[in-house]
Structure 1
């Protein structure tokens, strides 16, 4: 195949998969592709994950490292864990969301998120009030103390993020975001709807 035709075809396939991507994104994507994927081989009988499993194991391990270092960095900030920081950021950014919005936005179980909010209210970081239109609905607001805590915690959390990925170039980081953002977008719209369904049904819906 003519190289120009091959390049146009590759761009067309890439643009179809990532319609909002730029030419720079395309070139980063092509440069990041290995010449040949090395398939790991273990001893006979050893359980070796496939490519999907290897990717998810890598993401899970990185996530655990990030959580552990973030929790360490937040010591002394009034926040006990990174999930509390996420909830506080959500309340601040969304501007007075209801409880469930703040909790589900951070992919936390309702009971766990409720307990976190109780602790944060006791510390004076957030306040709760009834919705003007529906008194049964409770809305959340970051207090003045909460905003001060948020600014201190933000600096520490950003330091952790910088520490975690400082070996990657900015282009590498942009490529990672570009490749993984569609996965986040897809499941963000489906996760809560599928929580109470059996896994086989969830699998079928996601693989359609």
Structure 2
């Protein structure tokens, strides 16, 4: 009976903060805070309650973006004592690890970074000996980059640390939970990992019109 009373109380609290939220939204919200792990209200807790969006799209994107930001905090901690303490450097080396020998633009796009930022980071990685470059035999104006032996060794150290950060972040999820979320999100990331890069030169209004113009046809 106590559990029923608790659910009713939390449902009442949820309705006050989310007047547009339905019962299914409340259930997801309730299950996202397992019993025994709910913290006492404080300034930060109160802020999070107020920051909960009422509409589904905003809730979905807030959940994704803040989850990513939280994971990056763990990653920065994990990488502190590695040869590649900057997440951006790990992303670029990881891109090279998967692409093998490639041009700078392809590496930067694969890592989904801005060209200017990626170029500066790659140049520093070359100076430190983690990345090697040579003239492209098919285009003398271009250079090809490849991860050096020391770069590969450093990256594998980072992978081991990243696994620890990943284990910490996913500790409360079951294998089925992870499979479910991955199955939902993987098609989304596969689609937009390509399209976001192709659309970088357009305004957000142009992209919006392109997407929703297509859906109206």
TM-score bin, normalised by smaller chain? 0.7 to 0.9
Partner of residue 102 from structure 2, selected from 97, 103, 126: 97
Residues 64-94 of structure 1, C-alpha deviations (whole Å, 9 max, x = no match): 1111211221112121322211211111221
Structure 2 partner of 1:130: 135
Distance in 2 (alpha carbons) for counterparts of 1:149 and 1:188: 26
| In structure 1, distance between residues paired with 2:171 and 2:211 | 34
Residue 147 of structure 1 is matched in structure 2 by: 152
Normalising by structure 2, report the TM-score: 0.73
The residue matched to 2:140 in structure 1 has which SS? coil
Q: Does 1:36 align with 2:24?
A: yes
Q: In structure 2, what is the equivalent of residue 177 of structure 1?
A: 182
1:194 matched to 2:182? The reply is no
1:14-41 deviation digits (Å, cap 9, x = unpaired): xxxxxxxxxxxxxxxxxxxx9723399x
The aligned counterpart of 1:28 is: none
What SS does the aligned partner of 1:197 have? coil
Cα distance in structure 1, aligned partners of 2:106 and 2:172: 35
8 A contact 1:97–1:140 mirrored in 2: yes
C-alpha separation in 2, matches of 1:73 and 1:37 = 34
Equivalent-residue separation in structure 1 for 2:62 and 2:73 (angstroms):
16
1:165 maps to 170
The alignment yields a C-alpha RMSD, in angstroms, of: 2.1
Unaligned runs of 5+ in 2: 1-21, 30-49
Deviation at 1:165, TM superposition (A): 0.6
* TM-score, length of structure 1 as denominator length: 0.76
Query: Contact 2:84–2:155 at 8 Å: present in 1 too?
Result: no
Please give the alpha-carbon distance, in whole angstroms, between the structure 1 residues aligned to 2:164 and 2:199: 35
What SS does structure 1 have at the residue aligned with 2:145? strand
Match of 1:31 in 2: none
**Is the Cα contact below 8 Å between 2:79 and 2:161 reproduced in 1?**
yes
- State how many pairs are aligned: 170
Structure 1: 5+ residue runs without aligned partners? 1-33, 41-45
Q: Distance in 1 between matches of 2:116 and 2:79?
A: 22
Structure number with higher relative contact order (C-alpha < 8 Å, ≥ 6 residues apart): 1
Aligned to 1:67: 72
